[in-house]
């Protein structure tokens, strides 16, 4: 700080005192820290939002893939729950219950082509028969004409979201 005397006894201060400068620097530090913290939180929230959007997309791909298939095998009907013996790869699966306990990692699209751009994500599919009167109650394999398909999306082996729907064998 420098004192400037304009006329006679009146003097005025030029610049800042050391305390004022230190206080301003401290205040600036607090503001920068707050901005950095909020930016970090926003980035994390944005990243999780993108993962959730990807998960919803992968559920839709699974649903569309299974929607084109009959609920039971066209040839063996209800003889086999799960894939039939001659269906040695998921490319040969031709009914919904073939996909029971199947995990696609990397996930697949509607045509069952691997989507390597989503490595780290996985689609886990379970198929269970449910009671015809109470669709929330599971039933023995092939004992009813209704199955509940559940697709769970995992990110780095951690479940993110899950969706179920009912398919009828009609």
96 binds Ca ion (CB under 5 A): no
Identified binder of Ca ion from the candidate list 73, 107, 129, 147, rule CB under 5 A: 73
Tokens of 154: 């995992």
Query: Binding segment for Ca ion among 13-21, 23-31, 65-73, 135-143 (CB under 5 A)?
Result: 65-73
Member of 54, 62, 66, 97 binding Ca ion (CB under 5 A): 97
How big is the chain by its Cα radius of gyration, in Å? Answer: 31
Q: How far apart are CA 150 and CA 76, in angstroms?
A: 23
Helix ranges (DSSP H) in the chain: 18-67
Our CB check for Ca ion shows the closer of 43 and 101 to be 101
102 and 96 Cβ atoms separated by less than 8 Å: no
d(CA 84, CA 77): 10
Stretch that binds Ca ion, among 29-37, 95-103, 104-112, 161-169 (CB under 5 A): 95-103
Quickly tell me which residue has 């995992």 as its tokens.
154
- Contact range with Ca ion by CB under 5 A, out of 4-12, 48-56, 78-86, 139-147: 78-86
- Which of 51, 56, 84, 141 binds Ca ion (CB under 5 A)? It is 84
Of residues 94, 109, 141, 145, which one binds Ca ion by CB under 5 A?
94
Distance CA 167, CA 97 (A): 10
């Amino acid at each position: 700080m420098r004192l400037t005397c304009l006329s006679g006894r009146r003097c005025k201060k030029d610049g800042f005192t050391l305390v004022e400068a230190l206080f301003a620097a401290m205040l600036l530090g607090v503001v920068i820290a707050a901005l950095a913290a909020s930016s970090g939180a926003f980035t994390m929230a944005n990243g999780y939002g993108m993962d959730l959007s990807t998960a919803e997309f992968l559920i839709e791909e699974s649903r569309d893939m299974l929607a084109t298939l009959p609920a039971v095998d066209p040839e063996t009907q209800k003889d086999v729950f799960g894939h039939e013996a001659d269906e040695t790869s998921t490319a040969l699966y031709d009914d919904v219950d073939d996909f029971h306990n199947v995990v696609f990692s990397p996930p697949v699209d509607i045509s069952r082509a691997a989507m390597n751009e989503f490595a780290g994500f996985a689609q886990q599919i379970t198929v269970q028969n449910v009671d015809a009167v109470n669709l929330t109650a599971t039933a023995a394999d092939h004992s009813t004409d209704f199955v509940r398909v559940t697709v769970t999306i995992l990110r780095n082996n951690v479940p993110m979201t899950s969706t179920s729907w009912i398919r009828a064998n009609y």
